[in-house]
Amino acid sequence: MKQGTLRVVITGASSGIGAATAVAFARQGAHLVLGARGREGLEDIASRCHEAGGQATVQVVDVTDTAAVTAFAADARAALGGIDLWFSDVGIGVVGKYLDVPMADHRQVVDTNLVSHMNEAHAVLPVFVAQGHGIWVNMISLGGYITSPYAAAYSASKFGLRGFSAALRGEMHDHPQIHICDVYPTFVDTPAVYHAGNYTGAKLTYPPGALAPEKVADAVVKLARHPRPSTVIGMPGPLLKLGEFANPLAAMLMNRFMDKWSKRAEPVRDTTGTMYAPPAGASGIDGGQRRPDGQRNTALVVGAAVVGLAIGARLVSRRS
């Protein structure tokens, strides 16, 4: 492999952000190993990678299976001759009041969004230590800072991922060429909205201002050359961190909003989505819900308003 060619592994690569990132790395001439549960989706994205100028091989893997992830990492290392960057992008969600969602579904979300990332890190970090360098990119999301009523297990998994990454950074301190990088996008327009479990009785949609998956992909590609601990996309970083301060009121307001939304949205039947099995066929990259270019990022505006309200309320309560 010629010097300078990036060797990249991406899980959750069959659709959405993982797929967009695979294509973005392919445009840089990267050599990729792509993993996910669905072969059709993987082969679709591998074809797009080849068209973009990269090389991609695929392997079906369930990242909640520790032994399978260990084998997948060994196969990827052998195929690539080493691993420069590993992007842990697998994620699912289930939407509904906590008590309305079966515990099996909550557990599946935590296993997929948190334990699977731990499996991946456990498999690849020894590779990085042995070769003396490597970048582990951990897809988290806005949910790593802001609690999400109607998505309690998702919140638990994302808060857990943030703590997990922080712990790994501490342990990797004596390996300066090994980087643990977190990515925190706001809402992203991917097929995930169609894959989610749904116990609200209402059709799920993204809010206005959802990001294009390619915007997140570009940020991940940049980390390959300029790794950093945290990357926030779609909202100023300091505002996201202020959201922690605003969490109690923000959560209450979001719960009220979701209560009203679920009563007004188009009704649908409950579903487990693709939590327990991959989607039939290829899902692609986009969710197809974005508005025309130039639309204001309403997600940012709403987020700023909620944070501002919460901070103001706390200041008033302290003065009274």
Render each residue's pLDDT in the chain as its tens digit; 320 residues. 345 799 999 999 999 999 999 999 999 999 999 999 999 999 999 999 999 999 999 999 999 999 999 999 999 999 999 999 999 999 999 999 999 999 999 999 999 999 999 999 999 999 999 999 999 999 999 889 888 888 999 999 999 999 999 999 999 999 999 999 999 998 898 877 788 888 988 887 777 788 999 999 999 999 999 999 999 998 766 666 666 666 566 656 666 766 676 677 787 787 777 778 878 778 777 767 776 554 444 344 444 444 443 333 333 333 33
Q: Is 21 in contact with 10 (CB distance < 8 Å)?
A: yes
Query: Quick one: 163 exposed, middle or buried, by C-beta within 10 A (0-12, 13-18, 19+)?
Result: exposed
CB 57 within 8 A of CB 80: no
d(CA 202, CA 173): 46
Alpha-carbon distance 111 to 235, whole Å? 28
Q: Which residues contact 176 (CB under 8 A, 6 or more apart)?
A: none
Instruction: State the catalytic residue, choosing from 145, 154, 184, 199.
Output: 154
**Whole-prediction pTM:** 0.84
- Whether 150 is catalytic is no
- Give me the sheet containing 55-60, strands edge to edge: 55-60, 31-36, 7-11, 85-88, 134-139, 178-185, 230-233
How far apart (Å, rounded) are the C-alpha atoms in residues 112 and 123?
16
Cα angle vertex 216, ends 295, 92, to 5°? 100
What is the length of the chain? Answer: 320
CATH 3.40.50.720 fits 7-319, yes or no: yes
DSSP state of 24: H
**Considering Cα of 80, then 85, then 86, then 92, what sign does the dihedral take?**
negative
The residues near 100 (Cβ < 8 Å, ≥ 6 apart) are 199
- Structure-token match 């327990």, residue found: 276
